[in-house]
């Protein structure tokens, strides 16, 4: 068990005590639960004679305490509409966190089993769900999606329970036939289980109507007053009154959930490598993941090999299965200048996209780096769906800290609250700030007013803000406008759409967020960022990398307030997770990690993020470089003769493939002209697809260099010793260049 999982268990025990203070209270009021009803298009009720003319009416009830948002239209493609909303529900309800065995739950189950032995099935099931609701109420709780009606269509945003997935669905106007003018705005919708079950029943032969608003047609309840006696001449006839049915939800949203949501939205604007895939390539990845279970103790990453002017290759660890896309003509080679090997985690979450694959025309992937969030954009007729794997979850504090350094410093106050006077504390803080902060708030406020009118791209925003007379004191440039956009996204005011590269004004909540609550995870992280900013806080920092085993980080953390220096040590595994942690501070010596991670370990992790192994001025002479290359595999069983390897029918265009550990479905979709090739060419092509990954570990330790090569189960080892550390360092760089000249790609690590 890693340190991150131990931290997650410790936080769960503490959350039971401070459940009311550790989250952000959010109140959501709806007129009724969102549902699907079968009504006739011309009447409010469905008669028996008109059962064949009914339509599916999808009623999404918006939040009552937000501005009114209205949308009404007929759906032209019901199947695309159904599968996209179901995929959205799969993301918002997903939870991929590791759940360890809990013997206490088994004990309670046995007690309930003995207590309900004489009860019928209905009574026993009711008692179980009553106990589960009282002890674990969040088991049924999912946070309602954020919906925005804009000029291009309707957009939905969701974030998973484990903080590991983010999805953004946009249904364009191309898929709707609108009968009334929509009211643009942002709100939340009630996404209930009944709505999910109703959406599953949508069929192509039925007409589907989408209705978004506070109240839907035919769902008001009428209440009639009792009639008075006939002798009572003073009585008056009362008219029926509408009985309001308000559903109120009080959800204690974790602050970490909101903070991670804002981070993932902001990270979409950072520099990234974009690759284009064919939908069949993504299908092959999901197929191989479904056919191969994860092996305990082995790598579980998704490697993406990028070479300049070549098609990207996806490799599944530890099976070394390669997936390429060579069917679509719209597939573009990688346009970068340098070869890269990027490892992603959380690959099982890609199975949430399986519903949309039949309707997808193109797939593009935006990569931020090793272990960082990746954005998978699926485009089809009438929709585009952006799915983000964050690379971290609630338990993985190490990767979360690594992700924090990519983004600029989070603002400690909300721009709308400070300028419009919505918060007295924020307004007082703004008055005490310097002129630079005032200019930033002024520029962001003008940018928000521009986005309120119409969504815009970065180039259009630069042009419009350059011509604005109120920003004469601030030089408007691409970098300055992008900084304002990042600040607005971190405050929950702006939404960035990767598929169209448009910026939308979308307030996350009806009340501006208090940014001081989302600046840091806890007080230990706040203290760690304060210590990392000091010049003499981190002393004797060393990094030692051992092949296969991981990375060991050591340093002395000096705290001036305590007048003491603490010795901290971290050990990172292959996937960047913390496998061992030690510190000499009183918190760790007394409680270990049961009360959370101390500030000194966080400082050590942040300092490692700033470590550059290529810097010759580093005091540490311990470093390891990992290089890899795909080579032909020799461990597969070769066929005895050519007749068994390839069989080509004379009057058929379908080729029978030989038995291989990987079924490449792209070969079946090749044109007929390419299939009628010689037998020897086909044998060479199939043999070239059977590849394995060769790893080279080059380690330098002061005056000694160790070179280890691993191909499958075979290992070779070589050691070189030099007289001076500088000579070893020069030879270390020469060996790296030698392997790169042979086609190896350096794996940068985390």
- pLDDT (0 to 100) of residue 620: 55
352 DSSP 8-state letter:
G
Residue with tokens 């700033």: 610
62 DSSP 8-state letter:
B
| Bridge partners for 364 per DSSP | 276, 377
Which positions ≥6 away from 491 have C-beta within 8 Å? 262, 411, 414, 415, 512, 513, 515
For the segment 250-255, the average pLDDT, to the nearest whole number, is: 69
- pLDDT (0 to 100) of residue 583: 94
Q: pLDDT band at 294, cuts 50/70/90?
A: confident
Q: pLDDT band at 531, cuts 50/70/90?
A: very high
346 DSSP 8-state letter:
-
Q: pLDDT per residue over 324-366, tens digit each?
A: 876 566 677 888 888 888 888 888 899 999 999 999 999 999 9
Question: Distance (Å, rounded) from C-alpha 281 to C-alpha 440?
Answer: 44
Tell how far CA 449 is from the center of its chain. Answer: 29
Least confident of 1-15, 286-300, 514-528, 554-568: 1-15
Question: 168 versus 257: which is more confidently predicted?
Answer: 168
Count of Cβ atoms closer than 10 Å to residue 442 Cβ: 17
pLDDT above 50 (res 236): no
- Residue pair 164/373 in contact by the 8 Å Cβ criterion: no
Class of the CATH domain delimited by 254-406: alpha beta
- pLDDT (0 to 100) of residue 249: 65
- pLDDT (0 to 100) of residue 130: 67
Question: Distance (Å, rounded) from C-alpha 296 to C-alpha 561?
Answer: 45
pLDDT above 60 (res 232): no
- pLDDT (0 to 100) of residue 97: 75
Is 616 strand, coil or helix? coil
User: SS3 letters for 553-586?
Assistant: EEEEEEECCCCEEEEEEEEECCCCCEEEEEECCH
Question: 162 versus 184: which is more confidently predicted?
Answer: 184
For the segment 395-413, the average pLDDT, to the nearest whole number, is: 69
Among 282-286, 411-415, 604-608, 691-695, the range of highest mean pLDDT: 282-286
- pLDDT (0 to 100) of residue 262: 86
Question: Distance (Å, rounded) from C-alpha 217 to C-alpha 640?
Answer: 71
Q: What angle do CA 552, 548, 541 make, to 5 degrees?
A: 15
For the segment 492-505, the average pLDDT, to the nearest whole number, is: 92
Domain with CATH 1.10.10.10 in the chain: 415-419+440-517
For the segment 593-604, the average pLDDT, to the nearest whole number, is: 87
| Packed helices 599-609 and 397-404: angle between N→C axes, nearest 10 degrees | 50
Question: Distance (Å, rounded) from C-alpha 538 to C-alpha 607?
Answer: 8
Question: Distance (Å, rounded) from C-alpha 103 to C-alpha 101?
Answer: 6
Q: What angle do CA 312, 315, 320 make, to 5 degrees?
A: 145
User: SS3 letters for 133-202?
Assistant: HHHCHHHCCCCCCEEEECCCEEEEEEECCCCCEEEEEEEEHHHEEECCCCECEEEEECCCHHHHHHHCCC
Question: 226 versus 470: which is more confidently predicted?
Answer: 470
Question: 641 versus 484: which is more confidently predicted?
Answer: 484
For the segment 224-239, the average pLDDT, to the nearest whole number, is: 45
Count of Cβ atoms closer than 10 Å to residue 354 Cβ: 16
- pLDDT (0 to 100) of residue 16: 38
- Residue pair 530/561 in contact by the 8 Å Cβ criterion: no
- pLDDT (0 to 100) of residue 360: 93
pLDDT above 70 (res 725): yes
Radius of gyration of the chain (CA): 30
Q: What angle do CA 329, 334, 337 make, to 5 degrees?
A: 150
Q: pLDDT band at 593, cuts 50/70/90?
A: confident
Tell how far CA 20 is from the center of its chain. Answer: 27
Q: pLDDT band at 28, cuts 50/70/90?
A: confident
For the segment 150-167, the average pLDDT, to the nearest whole number, is: 89
Domain with CATH 3.10.150.10 in the chain: 254-406
Cβ-based burial of 54 (10 A; exposed 0-12, middle 13-18, buried ≥19):
middle
For the segment 634-641, the average pLDDT, to the nearest whole number, is: 47
For the segment 426-443, the average pLDDT, to the nearest whole number, is: 54
Q: pLDDT per residue over 665-719, tens digit each?
A: 444 334 433 433 444 444 344 334 567 888 898 888 888 898 988 887 788 888 9
pLDDT above 70 (res 107): yes
Sign of CA dihedral 207, 213, 217, 220: positive
Which positions ≥6 away from 689 have C-beta within 8 Å? 322, 660, 662, 664
Question: 186 versus 615: which is more confidently predicted?
Answer: 186
Q: What is the pTM of this model?
A: 0.76
Sign of CA dihedral 369, 409, 15, 265: negative
- pLDDT (0 to 100) of residue 385: 96
- pLDDT (0 to 100) of residue 230: 46
- pLDDT (0 to 100) of residue 251: 64
pLDDT above 50 (res 188): yes
Q: Which two tokens stand for residue 705?
A: 């260099």
- pLDDT (0 to 100) of residue 189: 79
Percent of the chain surpassing pLDDT 90: 19
- Residue pair 64/216 in contact by the 8 Å Cβ criterion: no
pLDDT above 60 (res 617): no
- pLDDT (0 to 100) of residue 364: 93
For the segment 721-748, the average pLDDT, to the nearest whole number, is: 88
- The HSE-up count of residue 390 (CA atoms within 13 Å, CB side) is 33
Among 19-28, 319-328, 647-656, 708-717, the range of highest mean pLDDT: 708-717
pLDDT above 60 (res 653): no
Least confident of 233-237, 436-440, 448-452: 233-237
Domain with CATH 2.20.140.10 in the chain: 617-633+690-749
User: SS3 letters for 360-419?
Assistant: EEEEEEEECCCCCCEEEEEEECCEEEEEEECCCCCCCHHHHHHHHCCCCCCCCCCHHHHH
Question: 104 versus 693: which is more confidently predicted?
Answer: 693
- The HSE-up count of residue 329 (CA atoms within 13 Å, CB side) is 1
Question: Distance (Å, rounded) from C-alpha 72 to C-alpha 86?
Answer: 20
Question: Distance (Å, rounded) from C-alpha 660 to C-alpha 13?
Answer: 49
Among 273-287, 544-558, 609-623, the range of highest mean pLDDT: 273-287
Question: Distance (Å, rounded) from C-alpha 711 to C-alpha 51?
Answer: 66
Share the mean pLDDT of the chain. Answer: 75
Least confident of 64-78, 97-111, 588-602, 680-694: 680-694
Among 52-56, 391-395, 404-408, the range of highest mean pLDDT: 404-408
- pLDDT (0 to 100) of residue 124: 67
Among 671, 675, 670, smallest CA distance to 646 is for 675
- Residue pair 430/413 in contact by the 8 Å Cβ criterion: yes
The hierarchical CATH code for the domain 617-633+690-749 is: 2.20.140.10
Question: Distance (Å, rounded) from C-alpha 566 to C-alpha 583?
Answer: 7
- Residue pair 142/366 in contact by the 8 Å Cβ criterion: no
Q: pLDDT band at 412, cuts 50/70/90?
A: low
Percent of the chain surpassing pLDDT 70: 67
| Bridge partners for 377 per DSSP | 364, 386
Strands across the sheet containing 176-178: 35-40, 54-61, 207-213, 71-75, 176-178
Residue with tokens 């970490």: 256
Among 346, 188, 164, smallest CA distance to 260 is for 164
- pLDDT (0 to 100) of residue 431: 45
pLDDT above 90 (res 370): no
Is 81 strand, coil or helix? helix
- Ramachandran quadrant class, 263 (left: phi over 0; alpha: psi -120 to 50; beta: rest): alpha
248 DSSP 8-state letter:
E
Question: Distance (Å, rounded) from C-alpha 172 to C-alpha 379?
Answer: 11
pLDDT above 80 (res 212): yes
What DSSP assignment string belongs to 283-306?
HHHHHHHHHSPPPTTS---EEEEE
Q: pLDDT band at 436, cuts 50/70/90?
A: low
For the segment 632-636, the average pLDDT, to the nearest whole number, is: 60
Sign of CA dihedral 208, 212, 217, 218: positive
Cβ-based burial of 508 (10 A; exposed 0-12, middle 13-18, buried ≥19):
buried
Among 371, 377, 407, 366, smallest CA distance to 391 is for 371
Q: pLDDT band at 634, cuts 50/70/90?
A: low
For the segment 196-209, the average pLDDT, to the nearest whole number, is: 85
Question: Which architecture characterizes domain 415-419+440-517 according to CATH?
Answer: Orthogonal Bundle (1.10)
């Amino acid at each position: 068990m890693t340190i991150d999982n131990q931290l997650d268990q410790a936080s769960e025990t503490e959350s039971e005590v401070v459940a009311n203070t550790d989250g952000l209270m959010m109140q959501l009021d709806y007129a009724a639960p969102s549902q699907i009803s079968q009504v006739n298009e011309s009447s409010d009720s469905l008669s028996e004679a008109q059962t064949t003319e009914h339509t599916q009416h999808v009623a999404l009830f918006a939040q009552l305490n937000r501005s009114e948002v209205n949308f009404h239209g007929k759906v032209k493609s019901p199947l695309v509409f159904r599968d996209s909303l179901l995929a959205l529900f799969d993301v918002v309800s997903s939870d991929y966190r590791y759940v360890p065995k809990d013997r206490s739950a088994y004990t309670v189950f046995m007690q309930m089993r003995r207590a309900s032995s004489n009860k019928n099935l209905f009574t026993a099931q009711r008692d179980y769900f009553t106990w589960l609701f009282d002890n674990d109420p969040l088991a049924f709780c999912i946070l309602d999606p954020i919906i925005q009606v804009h000029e291009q269509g309707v957009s939905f945003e969701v974030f998973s329970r484990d903080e590991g997935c983010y999805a953004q669905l946009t249904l364009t106007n191309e898929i709707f036939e609108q009968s009334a003018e929509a009211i643009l705005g942002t709100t939340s919708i009630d996404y209930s289980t009944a709505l999910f079950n109703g959406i599953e029943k949508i069929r192509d032969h039925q007409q589907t109507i989408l209705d978004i608003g506070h109240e839907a047609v035919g769902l008001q309840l009428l209440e009639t007053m009792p009639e008075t006696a006939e002798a009572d001449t003073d009585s008056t006839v009362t008219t029926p009154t509408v009985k309001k049915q308000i559903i109120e939800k009080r959800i204690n949203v974790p602050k970490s959930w909101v903070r991670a949501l804002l981070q993932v939205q902001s990270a979409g604007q950072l520099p990234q490598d974009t690759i284009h895939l064919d939908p069949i390539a993504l299908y092959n990845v999901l197929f191989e993941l479904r056919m191969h279970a994860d092996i305990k103790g082995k790598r579980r990453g998704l490697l993406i090999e990028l070479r300049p002017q070549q098609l990207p290759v996806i490799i599944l660890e530890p099976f070394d299965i390669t997936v390429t896309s060579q069917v679509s003509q719209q597939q573009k080679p990688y346009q970068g200048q340098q070869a890269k090997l990027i490892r992603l985690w959380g690959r099982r979450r890609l199975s949430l996209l399986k519903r949309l694959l039949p309707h997808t025309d193109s797939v593009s992937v935006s990569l931020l780096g090793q272990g960082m969030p990746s954005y998978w954009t699926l485009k089809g007729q009438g929709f585009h769906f952006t799915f983000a794997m964050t690379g971290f979850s609630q338990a993985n504090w190490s990767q979360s800290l690594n992700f924090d350094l990519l983004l600029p410093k989070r603002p400690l106050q909300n721009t709308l609250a400070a300028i419009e006077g919505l918060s007295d504390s924020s307004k007082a803080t703004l008055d005490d700030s310097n002129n630079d902060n005032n200019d930033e708030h002024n520029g962001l406020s003008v940018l928000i007013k521009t986005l309120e009118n119409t969504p815009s791209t970065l180039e259009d925003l630069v042009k419009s803000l350059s011509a604005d007379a109120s920003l004469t004191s601030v030089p408007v440039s691409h970098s300055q406008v992008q900084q304002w956009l990042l600040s607005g996204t971190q405050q929950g005011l702006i939404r960035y759409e990767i598929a169209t590269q448009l910026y939308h004004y979308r307030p996350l909540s009806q009340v501006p967020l208090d940014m001081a609550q989302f600046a840091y995870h806890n007080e230990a992280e706040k203290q760690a960022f304060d210590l990392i900013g000091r010049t003499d806080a981190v002393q004797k920092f060393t990094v030692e990398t051992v092949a296969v085993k991981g990375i060991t980080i050591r340093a002395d953390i000096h705290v001036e307030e305590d007048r003491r220096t603490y010795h901290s040590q971290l050990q990172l595994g292959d996937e960047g997770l913390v496998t061992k942690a030690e510190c000499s501070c009183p918190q760790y010596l007394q409680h270990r990690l049961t009360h959370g991670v101390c500030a000194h370990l966080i400082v050590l992790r942040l300092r490692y993020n700033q470590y550059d192994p290529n810097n010759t001025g580093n005091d540490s002479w311990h470093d390891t470089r990992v290089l890899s290359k795909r080579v032909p595999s020799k461990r597969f069983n070769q066929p005895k003769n050519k007749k068994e390897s390839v069989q080509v029918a004379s009057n058929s265009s379908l080729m029978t493939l030989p038995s291989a550990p990987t079924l490449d479905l792209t070969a079946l979709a090749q044109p007929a002209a390419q299939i009628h090739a010689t037998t020897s060419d086909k044998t060479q092509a199939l043999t070239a697809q059977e590849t394995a990954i060769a790893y080279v570990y080059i380690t330098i330790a002061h005056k000694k260099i160790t070179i280890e090569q691993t191909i499958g189960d075979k290992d070779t080892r070589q050691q070189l010793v030099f007289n001076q550390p500088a000579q070893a360092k020069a030879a270390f760089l020469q060996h790296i260049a030698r392997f790169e000249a042979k086609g190896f790609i350096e794996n940068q690590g985390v």
